[in-house]
């Protein structure tokens, strides 16, 4: 898989760096555009003086079902790192359900057989929305219906409230129709209830081992039934909102009880299906169920013997989980693999919150390195506090280490993710997100002179939008939606906006031209990268955005 040297261009003299400004999209001023509102002299200079094209970072351009689907960090980094567009989780699952293939799989059949043989319960646990980033509630509906058709007698739903990939206070918009759906299925032979829940940033859905206490709270809630009790999910949401004023993603855990006892603890002999299709926030809860006596991340109190399955295989190298319903996308011929086979030394760096994005997702959902000798991965530990309380996050520390590594002379290609725009953008705090973008701009100002000193170049881009649209927009009026108090309603989800791709090169830019804005997406960056390194792009990759002279 070695790359062929270009006959036209020997490549940049120094190192080539890719910077992913996570969550920094492009749109018109106003409507909560924290990127435009921030003081960003460096980014402004880059966009005005250096070649820039707009990249599509959502929908079909990153393998999602339709262009109404917002991009996300997983599919964005898959596309950046592979140079191709692969059908992604949401589309794979939807196709598998519509074709019936999921329900003909050995995993589904074994999951059903387990509860029928044991007279036990089938549990569905996952993100309870149609955000289509981590899960889709329509997939859950289909599985519950099929469970009844296949003779399952008892189903329990453990609902992780969203408020991040969908509106920040929309939980009841999903709970109330779903309760009606369950009521329509419920009869003397089929017992189906919502059993527990809580905000996705409060319980269960930690990632990259940033805060195992989230998973521990989720375990106590879903498995042990050890959380505050309510008569219904709607009662829980209404009460907790009134008491805490938290948005959905931050609501405290709860269990549904009848006659003073939880209605849906997880017991020996049960089946548990984690129905999220995205991997990063699915791994830790999967390990909690699957790892035996060696598990040491928290005291599980009891670990019931269950048949556990994920929607997909969340880690193809570690094979987590052991059972899954839909085969994940088989991403091959990635940038990292080609570079290592060509003998090019690489560095990947970010803080914990996005470390897996420039490693695992970038490498096609593979957790290991392609070469221990040629690759170094650096993780800067993230703070375990709400991101809007420290919106600069670890961007300065990332830059400190990145500059050190650049000056070491060891690496020809480096990639870096700054999480600020995305992670702070998800809080819905407009003012904090402005600060996060300004903090990022300071880091760009530190890096440019180092790259110039080394006669290198930078590709500056993003994986999707977020900070560029911090208010919910009314599609008819194009103005911000207002809350009950008359203030703009915060938007915590990603956007459908394009992202920038800037090429900063003060030494060899005369050797190529940047093509005019076209139908480019994130997958066009890989070919651009190898061209700038002095190589021809593999035929299966999408076209480069530069043309060599």
**Active site members:** 73
- Per-residue tokens: 261: 């006892």
Q: Which stretches of 471-540 are DSSP H helices?
A: 525-532
- Per-residue tokens: 163: 């408020």
Smallest CA-to-CA distance from 200 within 179, 170, 173, 224 is with 170
CB 548 within 8 A of CB 10: no
Residue 109: in which H helix or E strand, if any? helix 106-118
CB 262 within 8 A of CB 225: yes
Number of residues in the chain = 549
CB 310 within 8 A of CB 334: no
- Other residues' Cβ atoms within 10 Å of the Cβ of residue 342: 17
By 3-state DSSP, what share of the chain in percent is helix, strand and coil, each rounded to 5?
35, 20, 45
DSSP for 436-461 reads HHHHHHHHHHHHHHHHHHTT-EEEEE
CA dihedral 283, 284, 290, 293 (to 10 degrees): 150
CB 25 within 8 A of CB 497: yes
Residue 90: in which H helix or E strand, if any? helix 89-99
End-to-end CA distance of the chain: 25
- Per-residue tokens: 530: 């190898």
Q: What is the sign, positive or negative, of the torsion defined by CA atoms of 174, 179, 180, 184?
A: positive
Q: Which stretches of 223-330 are DSSP H helices?
A: 233-244, 283-290
Residue 520 CA to residue 507 CA, distance in Å, equals: 25
CB 311 within 8 A of CB 138: no
Residue 287 CA to residue 412 CA, distance in Å, equals: 36
């Amino acid at each position: 898989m070695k790359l062929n040297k270009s006959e036209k261009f020997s490549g940049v003299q120094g190192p080539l760096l890719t910077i992913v400004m996570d969550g920094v999209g492009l749109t018109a001023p106003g409507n909560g555009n924290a990127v435009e509102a921030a003081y960003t002299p460096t980014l402004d200079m880059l966009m005005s003086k250096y070649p820039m094209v707009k990249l599509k970072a959502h929908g079909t351009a990153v393998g999602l079902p339709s262009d109404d689907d917002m991009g996300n960090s997983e599919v964005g980094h898959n596309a950046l790192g592979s140079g191709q567009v692969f059908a992604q989780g949401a589309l794979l699952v939807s196709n598998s359900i519509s074709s019936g293939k999921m329900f003909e799989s050995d995993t589904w059949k074994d999951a059903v057989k387990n509860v029928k043989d044991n007279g036990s319960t089938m549990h569905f646990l996952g993100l309870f929305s149609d955000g289509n980033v981590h899960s889709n509630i329509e997939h859950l509906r289909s599985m519950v219906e099929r469970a009844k058709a296949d003779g399952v007698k008892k189903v329990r739903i453990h609902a992780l409230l969203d408020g991040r990939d969908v509106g920040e206070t929309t939980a009841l918009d999903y709970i109330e129709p779903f309760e009606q759906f369950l009521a329509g299925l419920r009869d003397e032979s089929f017992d189906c209830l919502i059993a527990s829940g809580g905000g996705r940033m409060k319980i269960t859905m930690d990632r990259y081992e940033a805060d195992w206490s989230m998973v521990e709270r989720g375990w106590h809630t879903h498995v042990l039934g050890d959380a505050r009790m309510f008569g219904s999910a709607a009662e829980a949401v209404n009460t907790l909102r009134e008491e805490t004023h938290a948005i959905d993603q931050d609501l405290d855990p709860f269990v549904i009880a009848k006659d003073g006892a939880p209605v849906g603890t997880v017991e020996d002999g049960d089946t548990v299906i984690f129905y999220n299709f995205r991997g990063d926030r699915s791994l830790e809860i999967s390990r909690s169920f699957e790892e035996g006596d060696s598990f040491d991340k928290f005291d599980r109190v009891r670990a019931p013997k269950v048949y556990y399955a994920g929607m997909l295989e969340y880690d193809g190298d570690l094979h987590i989980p052991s059972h899954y319903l839909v085969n994940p996308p088989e991403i091959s011929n990635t940038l990292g693999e080609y570079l290592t086979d060509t003998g090019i030394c690489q560095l990947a760096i970010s803080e914990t919150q996005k470390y897996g994005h420039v490693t695992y997702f970038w490498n096609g959902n593979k957790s290991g390195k392609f070469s221990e000798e040629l690759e170094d991965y650096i993780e800067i530990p993230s703070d375990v506090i709400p991101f809007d309380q420290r919106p600069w996050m670890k961007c300065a520390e990332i830059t400190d280490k990145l500059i050190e590594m650049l000056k070491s002379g060891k690496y020809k290609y480096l990639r870096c993710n700054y999480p600020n725009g995305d992670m702070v953008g998800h809080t819905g705090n407009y003012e904090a997100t402005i600060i996060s973008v300004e903090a990022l701009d300071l880091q760009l100002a530190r890096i440019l002179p180092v790259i110039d000193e080394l006669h290198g170049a930078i590709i500056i881009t993003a994986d999707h939008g977020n900070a560029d649209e911090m208010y919910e927009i009314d599609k008819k009026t194009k103005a911000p939606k207002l809350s009950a108090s008359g203030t703009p309603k915060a938007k915590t989800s990603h956007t459908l906006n394009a992202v920038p791709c800037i090429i900063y090169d003060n030494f060899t830019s005369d050797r190529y031209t940047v093509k005019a804005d076209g139908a480019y997406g994130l997958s066009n960056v890989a070919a651009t990268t190898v061209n700038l390194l002095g190589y021809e792009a593999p035929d299966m990759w999408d076209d480069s955005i530069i043309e060599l002279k």
